[in-house]
């Protein structure tokens, strides 16, 4: 899906023209992958655009930087205010907001500490990640031959650019073999996550999802879905999941900022359940979209109206 150009991008505290957001080819991030980022959805609601779990995403950005010894010069409140201003300035409704922090042009060795930190934030229109039909009919996926990054190699809890080289291998393999996505296993053979999304399974009325120890990103939508399941009196268990459980589960679905709540109808050409969107997946999907669209009360305080000041944390 090509990026749809908007007018302004934020860079190091200033709004600049879209076409002026450029890096030198010898910036540290180009050779060594020293970048972190976030993906955040802004939804159109009856009260105007509102960003989903804005503060949590900005806190994760700061956490990602801390893991890689990148001291970010802005706070959660400051990043959150910029996001709202960016959406307003570009006159956007529903859109995708992407903060990016990279090691820029400085030194050319592996050691990143003497390369400057560059901060950017952009937004643009972005529809359903795997296509509109994916949300209503589900997608066909495979178990990837590529293993997720192992513990104590690259930190999976950081949303770092380098991690997504692993993700690219997972996604390319799936795509070339005719699948919409891949599900990777961790280094111990347990279900981990997709190329850029978390996984949930339903078995005998209980919702299962892999724990952080299986090299998953601590997904913010994953956390939201867990809380929504509790609201709906659906039992939730975080536990190691063997590969074969994907084949006997009653329902399987992806969650994430990009995919939102996307049902999975088959894994390795084995039909999941009855091959249609299951009742628990449907229930969670409906609850999620009701909340993000403003049709249901924002009982968890997850939506930040773009046209209102960002309230500082107490």
Tell me the catalytic residues: 159
Whose CA is closest to 301, among 291, 309, 293?
291
Q: What is the 3-state secondary structure (H, E, C) of the chain?
A: CCCCCCCEEEECCEEEEHHHCCCCCCCHHHHHCCEEECCEEEEEECCEEEEECHHHHHHHHHHHHHHCCCCCCCCHHHHHHHHHHHHHHCCCCCEEEEEEEEECCCCCCCCCCCCCEEEEEEEECCCCCCCHHHHHHCEEEEECCCCCCCCCCCCCCCCECCHHHHHHHHHHHHHHCCCCEEEEECCCCEEEEECCCEEEEEECCEEEECCHHHCCCCCHHHHHHHHHHHHCCCCEEECCCECCHHHHCCEEEEEECCCEEEEEEEECCEECCCCCCCHHHHHHHHHHHHHHCCCCCCCCCCEEECCCCCCCCC
Tokens of 238: 């975080």
CB 267, CB 248: distance < 8 Å = no
| Residue matched to tokens 């795509």 | 175
């Amino acid at each position: 899906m090509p990026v749809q150009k908007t007018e302004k991008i934020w860079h190091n505290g200033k709004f600049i023209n879209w076409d002026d957001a450029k890096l030198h080819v010898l910036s540290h991030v180009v050779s060594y992958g020293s970048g972190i980022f976030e993906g955040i959805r802004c939804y159109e609601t009856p009260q105007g655009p509102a960003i989903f779990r804005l503060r949590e995403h900005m806190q994760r950005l700061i956490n990602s930087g801390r893991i890689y010894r990148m001291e970010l010069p802005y706070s959660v409140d400051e990043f959150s205010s910029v996001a709202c201003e960016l959406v307003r300035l570009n006159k956007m409704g529903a859109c995708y907001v992407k903060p990016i922090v990279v090691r820029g042009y400085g030194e050319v060795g592996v050691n990143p500490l003497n390369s400057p930190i560059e901060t950017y934030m952009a937004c643009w229109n972005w529809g359903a990640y795997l296509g509109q039909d994916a949300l209503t009919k589900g997608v066909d996926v495979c178990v990837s031959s590529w293993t997720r990054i192992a513990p104590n190699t690259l930190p999976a809890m950081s949303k770092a650019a380098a991690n997504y080289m692993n993700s690219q291998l997972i996604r390319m393999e799936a795509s070339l073999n005719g699948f919409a996505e891949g599900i990777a296993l961790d280094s111990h053979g347990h279900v981990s996550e997709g190329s850029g999304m978390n996984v949930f399974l339903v078995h005998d009325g209980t919702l299962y999802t892999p724990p952080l120890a299986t090299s998953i990103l601590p997904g913010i939508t994953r956390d939201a879905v867990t809380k929504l399941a509790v609201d709906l009196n659906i039992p939730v268990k975080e536990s190691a999941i063997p590969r074969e459980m994907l084949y006997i589960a009653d329902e399987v679905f992806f969650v994430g900022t990009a995919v939102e709540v996307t049902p999975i109808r088959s894994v390795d050409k084995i039909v999941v359940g009855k091959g249609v969107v299951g009742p628990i997946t449907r229930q969670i999907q409906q609850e999620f979209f009701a909340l993000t669209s403003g049709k249901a009360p924002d009982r968890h305080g997850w939506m930040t109206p773009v046209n209102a000041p960002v309230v500082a944390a107490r």
